[in-house]
Amino acid sequence: MIKLENVTKVYPGATVAVKDINLDIAKGEFVFLVGASGSGKSTLIRLMMREEMPTNGDVWIAGKHASQLPSWKVPYLRRSIGTVFQDFKLLPTKTAYENVAFAMEVTAKHRSIIRNQVPQVLKLVGLSDKSDRLPRQLSGGEQQRVAIARAFVNRPLILLADEPTGNLDPGTSVGIMRILDHINRTGTTVVMATHDHAIVDAMQRRVVELVRGRVMRDESRGVYETRKNSDTTPERDPQATQEQAAVVAQGEKREPSAEAAGTESTETRPVQDDVEGAVQ
Amino acid sequence: MTSLAYMFREAFNNFGRNALVVLGAILAVFISLTLTFGTVVFGEVVRVNTLQWAEDVRVIAWLEDDMTLDATAALQNEVATWPQVADVFYISKQEAFQEALVLFSNNDAMLRILEESPDILPASLRVQPADPEEYGLIVTRLASTPGVEKVQSAGDAIDAMIALRDGLQVMFWLLAVALGVAAVALIANTIHMAIYARREEIEIMRLVGASDWFIRTPFLIEGALEGLIGGALAVTFIVVAQQMAVDRLSDLPDWINLAVQNDFILRQGALVLLFGVAAGLIGSSLSLAVHRTLRS
């Protein structure tokens, strides 16, 4: 679904953002991109949505050779990619419903399809009763759920999320992860860049760790960090991590993740079952 | 249908958002095109009224009806040799009739007379003096030439009218061009502001895969509309002013015809509207081309 071959991105001013990245993400996978700030996670996300072109190497997205795609075809590629960001990017003058509908209107979807799809997707993210609220009348978590609804309403093949829980408290983040997990279960490939230890550890999905623009680790069922390179990850709040881990992976006895590193869990438990109570 | 409605809605939205700037742009188009259109219409009024005096003709010798073609040709050749004369044309009865149809286009009584007797007007020799200001001697000599029934000279009124037209035209065209450039720049500015006001929306549109034309067309429509409104105001203004001039200045001498034919107004007016739309499209295209938000 997404394939990067020897991808290097150098920004003007000779800042090397990512170097010699080789990554192959299959359809339906859920992949965490982890790493310190500046390790190249966001650049990778931007390459995967063809917001950036690689300086070297090739990028394939949804079967298209993205690094050779003429710019006028990019909009059509984007229709198979949903994007979610830390800062939500909602239009402040539009209601939740209108924000979601906007993604369909501007891709010239028929009105009847919009009327049919938008309520469905708002229901999926649990906002049916708040569809006429403006973003400022919604909590951060609710705003992010609107953003996810907008990203998903055109049923993309790929959902790219750049720190979707970065502005949210641990409890709210769990709700967001539940929705992303649900979307992933419909067959959508999800790639999520994150700093959130607890979420990564609890979800037990593929983890790609970037260190200074290179892939340091790529594990099919990884945790946020391993002891070996713990010095390259950013500072974190052990308290929050512990709380979140406890919420997400309820019942599992788990030390704070640094200590738990390396202990591979053999069972992947659906997040939504565990956190049902926590988000309601 | 849905997207077309969407685009016009978006284009109109900015009119409210940046009302003052939009008004400025429309006024600039209006003034520029009023000058342009005014110049064209005034030029037409002068052209119609000086039809006989076109191409620097200052003296007309109306010929006697019984003059033979050979005699006429001989006379034409002779006059051409006069030192004060630059050139001489022969206008037949038929050509005179065609000319009169235009000249008296708003004079029904005169047209009726012409219809009844198309050969009422005599043939003539039109004389271009070597020095446009000095044609007194030509008039005197022609008056005493056999075969010439009557000599008519342009006179001060015609001279003044043509001089006025030539002077005004240069000045108006210069002004119109300068204001036209200003109008394009002002339209570009309104579009620039519209893009800036909608930069968040545009960012999201690009994220969710709105095509380039879908993002750009509302701005092109907006620019075109501003140009069209300015042009429509200019056409309306000139038509009303023209009508008022015809009504109010009825005490002018009979031979001055201020009215302009309707099909001329229609044709030139449509052209002016087209210019307005073109100015709007150029302005908005300029803005779209340079705006960073729209670069991929």
**CA angle (B73, B78, B81) in 5-degree steps:** 130
Residues of B in Cβ contact (< 8 Å) with A147: none
pLDDT digits (tens, 9 = 90+) for B159-188: 777 777 778 778 878 888 888 888 899 889
Q: What residues pair up with A209 in beta bridges, in sequence order?
A: A34, A217
pLDDT tens digits along B39-48: 888 888 877 7
Q: Do A89 and B207 touch (CB under 8 A)?
A: yes
Q: Find the CB nearest B208 among A72, A78, A110.
A: A78
Structural domain boundaries in chain B: 2-50+159-294, 58-153
Per residue in A103-129, pLDDT (tens digit) is 998 888 888 999 999 999 999 999 999
Closest C-alpha among A1, A13, A7 to residue A82: A1
List the 205-264 stretch of B: residues with Cβ below 8 A of A.
205-212, 214-215
User: How much is the pLDDT for A2?
Assistant: 94
Taking 70 as the threshold, does the pLDDT of residue A69 lie above it? Answer: yes
Minimal CA–CA distance to B277: which of B233, B221, B208? B221
Residue A235: per-residue pLDDT: 47
Q: Find how far residue A247's CA is from the centre of its chain.
A: 20
Q: Which residue has the higher pLDDT, A203 or B125?
A: A203
Closest CA in chain B for residue A156: B208
Name residues 2-31 of chain B within 8 A of A (Cβ).
2-3, 6
Separation of alpha carbons A218 and A25, rounded Å: 11
Of A224-233, B145-154, B204-213, highest mean pLDDT: B204-213
Across the interface, whether the CB atoms of B211 and A75 are under 8 A apart is answered yes
Query: Chain A partners of B200 at a C-beta cutoff of 8 Å?
Result: 89, 91
Report whether A20 contacts A6 (CB < 8 A): yes
> Which among A89, A107, A110 is the nearest to B209, CB-wise?
A107
The answer to whether B295 contacts chain A (CB < 8 Å) is: no
Q: Select from B156, B130, B173, B154 the least CA-distant residue to B43.
A: B173
**pLDDT of the residue at B256:** 65
Bridge partners of A21? A7
Q: Cβ separation of B210 and A106 shorter than 8 Å? A: yes
State which H helix or E strand residue B74 sits in: helix B69-80
User: Which residue in B13, B202, B208 has the most chain A C-beta atoms within 10 A of its own C-beta, making it the best mutation to test that interface?
Assistant: B208
Q: Among partner residues B6, B204, B212, which is closest to A89 by beta-carbon distance? A: B204
Q: Is the pLDDT of residue B137 over 90?
A: no
Instruction: Tell me the sheet residues that pair with A2.
Output: A25, A61
Provide the residue type at A271 as one letter: V
Average the pLDDT over each of A73-77, B70-74, B108-112 and give the range with the smallest value: B108-112
* Confidence grade of residue B110 (pLDDT, cut at 50, 70, 90): confident
Instruction: Find out whether B135 and B143 touch, Cβ atoms under 8 Å.
Output: no
CA atoms in the 13 A half-sphere facing the CB of B275: 28
What distances in angstroms separate CA B100 from CA B49, B67, B118, B121, B228, one per listed residue? 11, 21, 10, 9, 37
* From B200, B209, B212, residue closest to A91, measured CB to CB: B200
- For chain B, give the mean pLDDT: 82
Partner A contacted by B137 (CB < 8 A)? no
Q: Which residues of A touch B209 (CB under 8 A)?
A: 75-79, 81, 107, 154
How far apart are alpha carbons B254 and B251 in whole angstroms? Answer: 8
pLDDT value of residue B193: 87
Substitution target in B7, B199, B204 with the highest count of A β-carbons within 10 Å is B204
A78 with B209: Cβ contact below 8 A: yes
Residue A64 above 50 pLDDT? yes
b vs e for A103-115, b when ≥16 Cβ sit within 10 Å of the residue's Cβ? bbbbbebeeeebe
Q: Is residue A255 over pLDDT 80?
A: no
CB atoms within 10 A of CB B5: 10
**Domain extents for chain A?**
29-50+72-80+156-209+217-279
B89 or A136, greater pLDDT: A136
Do A56 and A251 form a contact (C-beta atoms < 8 A)? no
As a 3-state breakdown, chain A gives helix, strand, coil percent values, each rounded to 5, of 40, 20, 35
Please state which CATH number belongs to domain B58-153: 3.30.70.3040
Mean pLDDT, chain A, as a whole number?
83
Average confidence (pLDDT) over A139-156: 95
Query: Which residue in the block uniquely carries the two structure tokens 């003429």?
Result: A70
Closest partner residue to A110 among B2, B203, B204, by Cβ? B2
| Residue A45: strand, helix, or coil | helix
Among candidates B200, B214, B296 on the partner chain, residue whose Cβ is nearest the Cβ of A106: B214
